[in-house]
């Protein structure tokens, strides 16, 4: 260990600790714009400048990457530091389109907060020539507005390193530098998989999802339409953050109440369809396992992952489960079974989903996702869009009562709610597969939980060894897929989720400032909400869900039936 003195506070820190980390330990925040722990450590934006003295007088260094040395003195907010940060902010703002009033990030923009904190009142000091960019709206899920981009490169790093995709990067040089794709292609023409991880880490309003809140409110106002809403498992673990609640708040009850007040005719739960997915997928697995089908079977609920497989591993498509995702199974069931039951023409049913995900916007437009001859799902909104709708409608979220979902498509089990965390789909599927083979009820399977990059476990099920692998984040998925390609994978069942940590950390979840993300594992905090919900539920296995039993009795007959295949399964594009 070495000793440092930060703003007069003496502290022992491990060798290799950066100035930024040491300051955090001592209780001081050093602001950053480009820095993302382990992913983007480039010291480029110069907002983290800090004064350090290593014996030869104080000088400014980039605190995010500069290592502490023994007896170093550090000043994190001296007049010189403040002056330097202020100047840097003025320079950034001189090429920034400063339309903060209606910007989608106003209120949680990291640049806006710094401008306020540092009293940057006149942002025009360095105004001169400005680059002007057209907004790229070519992708199905998002916009890129480079007029707001501050060139921090967080999006570039997350796309390349976390997702192993790398379809965006810096084009041109010097003053003309901008972030885009090769050969100036629109993002929609590249092999972007719509995961939205780039949006989740953008500090400003340069990247945002395509917003469909207006269209949804118009449908609600249309007397001809019956508007149903379904909410993904992970949304309840994120939505509270939009209203100032701490990371890891369970917002399920208030979310249901808010959706009702927004005017949706029925407030349903994607969790119902997650249970349905398990019935179909566990059946598919057991069928492939006992009849020599293609193994390992790989889960198919994450549309970013599906697109990734189609683009980069088309030779492995036979490994994918043919199950539609829960979002799509929900819409398909609503527009067939439920519409019939209620005597509503599916053409007059509008299915809205609230998802922690931006790839769901792409998924709803995929081929073979229209069981009733109309799209299974009409609008997929992100958690953030729902937050905006609630705010705009003047609903006081934190004062709402806790309400329940509507019957019957709001009934679900603990197995369904854990879908939103990495390992959850696998755990849920195993609960039902084991029961089917042995009649035994298993619940907690800790081996597949947690945020380790790649998890492996082997279970003994009725005398058979079943090896499973769980991974999330597409760079990790690549490793597993390369093993399958090379014939080196001996697992029978694999769960892959596009976003690191699963849907709780999806590209549509509330953005958490990097100053917090660098020190708090938001994946874990949000996952806890789901595992606690699972524990608290009376039924924790999909096959025990009474509404699921009924939908098979009344409509699908049995898992894997001809009807189930028509409505609940899909195919992929090579």
Binding site residues, ligand SF4, CB under 6 A: 158-159, 163, 165, 167-168, 192-198
Which residue from 356, 473, 501, 507 is in contact with ligand HC1, where contact means CB under 6 A?
356
Query: Which residues lie below 8 Å from residue 308, measured CB to CB, with a gap of 6+?
Result: 165, 193, 474, 477, 498
Select the span of 11-19, 112-120, 132-140, 355-363 touching ligand HC1 (CB under 6 A).
Answer: 355-363
Burial group, residue 561, by CB count within 10 angstroms (0-12, 13-18, 19+) = middle
Rounded least distance, CB 302 to ligand SF4, Å: 12
For 382, phi then psi, to 5°, come to -85, 165
Q: What number of other Cβ atoms are within 10 A of residue 70's Cβ?
A: 11
Tell me which of ligand HC1, ligand SF4, none is bound by residue 389, counting a contact when its beta carbon lies within the kind-specific cut-off of 5 to 8 angstroms.
Answer: none
Of the two residues 234 and 262, which places its CB atom closer to ligand HC1 in the complex? 234
Angle 514-519-520 from CA coordinates, rounded to 5°: 95
Of the two residues 195 and 411, which places its CB atom closer to ligand SF4 in the complex? 195
- How many Å is the Cα radius of gyration of the chain? 25
Of the two residues 35 and 531, which places its CB atom closer to ligand HC1 in the complex? 531
Dist. CA 548–CA 411, nearest whole Å: 8
When asked if residue 420 is in the footprint of ligand HC1 (CB under 6 A), the reply is yes
CA atoms within 13 A on the CB side of 476: 21
Judge whether 304 and 193 are in contact, CB under 8 Å: yes
Rounded least distance, CB 365 to ligand SF4, Å: 16
When asked if residue 412 is in the footprint of ligand HC1 (CB under 6 A), the reply is no
Q: Tokens in use for 526?
A: 């949000």
Tell me which of ligand SF4, ligand HC1, none is bound by residue 414, counting a contact when its beta carbon lies within the kind-specific cut-off of 5 to 8 angstroms.
Answer: none
Is it true that the peptide bond before 296 is cis, omega within 30 degrees of 0? yes
**Region of residue 83 (phi > 0: left; psi between -120 and 50: alpha; otherwise: beta):** alpha
Q: Where are the beta strands (DSSP E) in 442-559?
A: 454-461, 464-472, 493-497
Rounded least distance, CB 238 to ligand HC1, Å: 9
**According to CB under 6 A, which residues from 296 to 325 bind ligand HC1?**
301-302, 325
Of the two residues 148 and 384, which places its CB atom closer to ligand HC1 in the complex? 384
Select the span of 356-364, 457-465, 469-477, 557-565 touching ligand HC1 (CB under 6 A).
Answer: 356-364
Judge whether 374 and 347 are in contact, CB under 8 Å: yes
Query: Which residue has the closest beta carbon to ligand HC1?
Result: 503
Of the two residues 81 and 201, which places its CB atom closer to ligand HC1 in the complex? 201
Which residue from 52, 351, 503, 527 is in contact with ligand HC1, where contact means CB under 6 A?
503
When asked if residue 502 is in the footprint of ligand HC1 (CB under 6 A), the reply is yes
Of the two residues 311 and 528, which places its CB atom closer to ligand SF4 in the complex? 311
Select the span of 56-64, 202-210, 281-289, 502-510 touching ligand HC1 (CB under 6 A).
Answer: 502-510
Dist. CA 168–CA 190, nearest whole Å: 9
Tell me which of ligand HC1, ligand SF4, none is bound by residue 168, counting a contact when its beta carbon lies within the kind-specific cut-off of 5 to 8 angstroms.
Answer: ligand SF4
When asked if residue 510 is in the footprint of ligand HC1 (CB under 6 A), the reply is no
Of the two residues 189 and 453, which places its CB atom closer to ligand HC1 in the complex? 453
Rounded least distance, CB 171 to ligand SF4, Å: 14
- β-bridge partners, 459: 466
- Side by side, the strands of the sheet bearing 266-269 are 266-269, 226-231, 349-355, 379-382
Q: Tokens in use for 219?
A: 């449908």
b vs e for 491-528, b when ≥16 Cβ sit within 10 Å of the residue's Cβ? bbbbbbbbbbbbbbbbbbbbbbebbebbeeebbbbbbb
Q: x/- site string to ligand HC1, residues 245 to 274, per CB under 6 A?
A: -------------------------x---x
Of the two residues 109 and 167, which places its CB atom closer to ligand SF4 in the complex? 167
Which residue from 360, 361, 431, 449 is in contact with ligand HC1, where contact means CB under 6 A?
360
Dist. CA 374–CA 383, nearest whole Å: 25
Rounded least distance, CB 354 to ligand HC1, Å: 9
Of the two residues 31 and 424, which places its CB atom closer to ligand HC1 in the complex? 424
Of the two residues 193 and 227, which places its CB atom closer to ligand SF4 in the complex? 193
Query: Which residues lie below 8 Å from residue 482, measured CB to CB, with a gap of 6+?
Result: none
For 165, phi then psi, to 5°, come to -110, -60
Burial group, residue 42, by CB count within 10 angstroms (0-12, 13-18, 19+) = middle
Of the two residues 274 and 564, which places its CB atom closer to ligand HC1 in the complex? 274
* Location of structure tokens 């799209």: 375
Tell me which of ligand SF4, ligand HC1, none is bound by residue 163, counting a contact when its beta carbon lies within the kind-specific cut-off of 5 to 8 angstroms.
Answer: ligand SF4
Select the span of 109-117, 314-322, 450-458, 498-506 touching ligand HC1 (CB under 6 A).
Answer: 498-506
Sites of contact with ligand HC1 (CB under 6 A): 232-234, 270, 274, 301-302, 325-327, 355-357, 360, 419-420, 502-503, 506
């Amino acid at each position: 260990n070495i000793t440092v003195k930060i703003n007069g506070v003496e502290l022992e820190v491990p060798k290799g600790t950066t100035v930024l980390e040491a300051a955090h330990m001592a209780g001081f925040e050093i602001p950053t714009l480009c820095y993302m722990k382990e992913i983007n450590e480039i010291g480029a934006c110069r907002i983290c400048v800090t004064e350090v003295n290593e014996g030869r007088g104080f000088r400014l260094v980039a605190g995010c990457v500069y290592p502490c040395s023994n007896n170093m003195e550090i000043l994190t907010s001296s007049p010189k530091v403040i002056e330097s940060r202020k100047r840097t902010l003025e320079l950034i703002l001189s090429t920034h389109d400063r339309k903060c009033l209606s910007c989608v990030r106003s209120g949680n923009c990291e640049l806006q907060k710094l401008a306020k904190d540092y009293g940057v009142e006149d942002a025009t000091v360095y105004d001169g020539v400005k680059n002007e960019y057209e907004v790229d709206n070519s992708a199905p899920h998002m916009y890129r507005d480079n007029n707001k981009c501050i060139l921090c490169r967080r999006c570039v790093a997350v796309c390349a390193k976390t997702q192993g995709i790398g379809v965006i990067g810096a084009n041109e040089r010097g003053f003309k530098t901008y972030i885009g794709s090769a050969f100036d292609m629109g993002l929609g023409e590249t092999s972007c998989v719509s995961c939205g991880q780039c949006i989740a880490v953008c500090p400003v309003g340069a990247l945002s999802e395509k917003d469909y809140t207006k269209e949804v409110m118009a449908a609600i106002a249309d007397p001809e339409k019956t508007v149903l809403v379904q909410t993904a498992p992970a949304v309840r673990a994120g939505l509270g953050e939009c209203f100032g609640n701490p990371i890891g708040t369970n917002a399920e009850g208030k979310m249901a109440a808010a959706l009702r007040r927004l005017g949706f005719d029925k407030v349903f739960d994607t969790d119902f369809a997650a249970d349905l997915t398990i019935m179909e997928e566990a059946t598919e697995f057991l069928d492939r396992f006992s009849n020599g089908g293609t193994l390992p079977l790989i889960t198919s609920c994450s549309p970013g992952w599906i697109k990734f497989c189609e683009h980069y591993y088309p030779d492995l498509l036979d490994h994918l489960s043919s199950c539609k995702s829960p979002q799509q199974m929900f819409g398909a069931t609503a527009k067939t079974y439920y519409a019939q039951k209620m005597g509503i023409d599916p053409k007059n049913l509008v299915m809205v989903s609230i998802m922690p995900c931006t790839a769901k916007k792409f998924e709803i437009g995929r081929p073979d996702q229209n069981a009733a001859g109309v799209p299974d799902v009409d609008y997929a909104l992100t958690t953030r869009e729902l937050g905006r709708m609630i705010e705009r409608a003047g609903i006081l979220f934190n004062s709402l009562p806790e309400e329940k979902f509507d019957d019957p498509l709001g009934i679900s089990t603990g197995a369904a709610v854990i879908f939103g965390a990495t390992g959850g789909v696998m755990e849920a599927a195993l609960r039902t597969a084991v029961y089917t083979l042995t009649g035994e009820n298993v619940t907690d399977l800790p081996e597949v939980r947690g945020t380790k990059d790649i998890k492996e476990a082997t279970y003994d099920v009725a005398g058979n060894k079943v090896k499973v692998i769980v991974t999330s984040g597409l760079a990790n998925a690549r490793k597993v897929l390369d093993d399958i390609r090379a014939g080196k994978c001996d697992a029978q069942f694999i769960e892959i989720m596009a976003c690191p940590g699963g849907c709780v950390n999806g590209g549509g979840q509330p953005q958490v400032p990097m100053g917090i993300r660098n020190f708090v594992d938001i994946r874990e905090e949000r996952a806890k909400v789901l595992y606690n919900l699972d524990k608290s539920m009376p039924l924790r296995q999909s096959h025990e869900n009474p509404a699921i039993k009924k939908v098979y009795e009344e409509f699908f007959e049995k898992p894997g039936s001809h009807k189930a295949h028509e409505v609940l399964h899909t195919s992929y594009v090579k």
